[in-house]
Each structure stands twice: as structure tokens, then as C-alpha cells.
Amino acid sequence: MLQFIEKKPERGAIQKGLTHENNFDILRLIAALQVVADHYIRHFGLIQIDSFSLLHQAIAVFPGVSVFFFISGYLVTASAESNVATPRKYFVSRALRIFPALWVCTGLTAISLGVIGQLADVPLPSLLLWLFQQVTIFQFINPDYFRDFATGVINGSLWTIPVEITFYVVVFYFSKFAFGISRLWKTLIVVILSALSYAVYLYCAQRGGLMEKILYNSIAAHFWRFGFGMIAFYFRTDAILLSRNFLPVSLGLILILAIEPSGIARAAIVDLPALHTLLLSVVTIGCAYTLPALSQSILHGNDVSYGVYIYHMPIGNLFIYYHLNSVSLTLTAAAATLAIATLSWILVEKPALGLKKRFS
């Protein structure tokens, strides 16, 4: 196998540009759909149906958030390393990807809540504070006056936004200050930081206090997931080749959990999140660079994953509020999410990304 991995033609192909053609867009969309399925099956009460309970059990072994964080670790590190001398360009690019769609989503969510009367008794200062939290980096804060509405959390998925934004800042300045040192030293630092982060993650998972909740909703508990992506980027040529070779094995091990999520398999993988994430990372990189033109041929450069992610719970909450929680209506909510995410990409996200050159 090692002899195969070291074949010069294939390594050369990757180094000459194969890494710029990949399936990350479609992998992000699949990850977003996993999050939608997970939330809708649980919140719409479908988990009481045996077939949906089995489906939920199966998709749980492919957690979309872990895939998002790993891909961010890989791609954002690439962006940071290539823009250490142009911080304005880097941060403008990251901001344009996150905030315009988030602001529009927040506005539409607030309008829909106002139309159904959910904001009638909310004092204006409290409403303005919530809006400020939603459009900045405090999305994980959920006011008490929303606890009786639908799921009790307007858009719980947004807790990852401040984690992502913090990572953007951390990885840029890490890349800036580590510029010029060997990738082995950078990897060692990332491994140490990831180990500390993993310890925080396990600590938070075992305790449920306020401080643990705050830590869990921060980069401190999740840097290790990004760290896998950072290391994969540092050794991207080898990572791509190794992942493609070990893709069947890694995918097979994870699928075992989907079929029989108990016993030795669960103890070895699910109860060891780092091992599980490592396998997911191998599968992600392997799929990203296997048939790398697949994403372009299917999506044609359209990336609706972010819209799917940020809109699915506001839409889901409206359906739940009106008790529209049958199987067919759940699928309708999912279809509505895809439709609005597509509009978000066409009308908001793609035009915003087109402003990169003007602002940077």
C-alpha cells in the first residue's frame, strides 16, 4: 500500500491542482441535511415511529456539525495561510460568507415572529438586545420569553456561528505568527491545543452546569474538531492519498454503528469522540477527492448548505407552533428549507461573495 501511495504521477497530479477541484460543497450540503433530519425527526415527534427512529439512529453516526468543523479546519487554514499578509482580504471574505445571510435570516425570523404575535409582549429593549445577539456572535443566548414557543429555542443551530467565527480569528493569527516555521512544529502545537480542547469537551459532556454550558458553546470545547482539518491541510497531499486508500475501511467502520450501534463498536467509536471524528475526517477527505468533479456537475458551483443550516429551525419552529408535524408536513418543511436556502444563495450569499474584491 505504501508503494502505491508514493506513486509520483498521482502525487504530482494533486500538487499541480487536483486539490482545487473537490466535493466539499456537496459534502457540506449532506452535512446540513443530516442536521435537518436529526432536528426534524426529534422535534416533529417522528422519533416515536419505528422507521424514523431507526433512520435517526443511523444518521447519528454521521454528525453534520463535526463534518462542518473539520471542513472549516481544512479550508479556512488554507485561506489563512495564503492571506497572512492581507488580513483585510481574509476577514472581509469570511465576514461576507457568514453575516449577510445571517442578517437576512434574523430579519425574516423576527418578522415571522411578529406576524404570529410572538413578540407582542416582548419589551423593545429586550427585543433589540436579542436582535443584536443574533446578528453578532452571541447566538447561543436564548431569552426566557421564547421558552414557550415551539421547541423553546428560536434557532438553536446558530450556536456554531460564534464557534466558527472565533476559529477564523484564531487560525489566522496562528498562521500569521507561525508563518515560516515547519509544518511539523505547527502540527505539534495544533495537537497540544487539540488535546486540551478535547479534555474541555469531555469535561463539559460529563457536567451540566452553567460554566460547562458556556465552555461547550465556545471554541475551547471544539477546537480539536477543527484541529483535525488543520493537520489534514498541513499534510494535504498525503492526507488525500491516505484517505482515498482507507476510505472503504473508515466508511465501513462507521456504517457498522449505523447497523448495530451497540456493544464493542459503540464503545470503540461513539464513546471515543476523537476516534469517531478521525474516521469521519478520513471519510470526508476521501470523498472530497474521489471523483472530485462530482460536486460541480451536480451543484454547478451553487453552495446552499449554509442557507439550509440557518433556515431549517426557524421554518421548523413555525410548523411545530401550528402543530403541523405529520410525516408529509415534515417533508414539506424540509422542502421549504431547501427552497429558501436556494433563494438565499441566489439573492444574498452569492451577490455578497461577489463583493470580496471591492472590499478587500
pLDDT tens profile 87-112: 999 999 999 999 999 999 999 999 99
Q: What would the pLDDT profile of 48-90 be if each residue is shown by its tens digit?
A: 998 998 898 888 888 999 999 999 999 999 999 999 999 999 9
Q: Which grid coordinates belong to 330?
A: 415534515
Task: Please list, in sequence order, all residues whose beta carbon lies within 8 angstroms of the beta carbon of residue 89, skipping any fewer than 6 positions away.
Answer: 83, 356, 360
Residue 220 has pLDDT above 90, yes or no: yes
17 vs 27, residue with greater confidence? 27
Write down the number of H helices and E strands in the chain: 19, 0
Neighbours of 64 (CB within 10 A): 26
Mean pLDDT of 142-166: 93
Statement: residue 3 has pLDDT above 50: no
For residues 63 and 33, what is the distance between their CA atoms, to the nearest angstrom? 10
pLDDT given at position 4: 34
Q: Which of 124, 101, 158 is nearest to 344 (CA)?
A: 101
The tens digit of pLDDT for each residue in 263-292 reads 555 555 566 889 889 999 999 999 999 999
Q: Which residues are CB-contacts of 135 (< 8 A; sequence separation ≥ 6)?
A: 99, 102, 103, 106
Angle, CA 161 vertex, CA 159 and CA 167 arms, to 5°? 120
Burial 185-195 (b: 16+ CB within 10 A, else e): ebeeebeebbe
Q: How far apart are CA 209 and CA 144, in angstroms?
A: 18
Residue 20 predicted with pLDDT over 50: yes
Please state the rounded mean pLDDT for residues 224-237.
96
